[in-house]
Structure 1
């Protein structure tokens, strides 16, 4: 909308979208961004790991050790089952 489009009484031209439509579009864009963020699990997981790494690195080390122990235990069980 240019200054030529404004009528002397301050009214908007008929083809200009009302303010409510502009606000609704902004709200819709915000909602879509929130949904996109919510569905982007890899990004959220990476953010959580990074936050955990900076806030409490010992917990992250504990999780890594537990995961390694679980994998080692699973391998041991498979090898043991194959020997029988």
Structure 2
């Protein structure tokens, strides 16, 4: 994914949430929540492009063999419009 996005990129991410606890260098307890993506039941969609927002979105699909993302530029943004609760 790092090859396709930069800070501020708009993404749609679907996966399993996992919260974990760790101790920082000063000894303080910290918590972090991460989205865990597996090869099954996970989705990442680019909601904009490097040149700016596009009406159609790009979908990153992971190859089951090597987890290398491929981009599908033909993905239609209208497909997810009804699923977003806001």
Q: TM-score range by the shorter chain?
A: under 0.3
- What is the TM-score when the length of structure 2 is the normalising length? 0.18
Answer 1 or 2: which has greater helix percent.
Answer: 1
Of structures 1 and 2, the one with the larger relative CO (CA 8 A, separation 6+) is 2
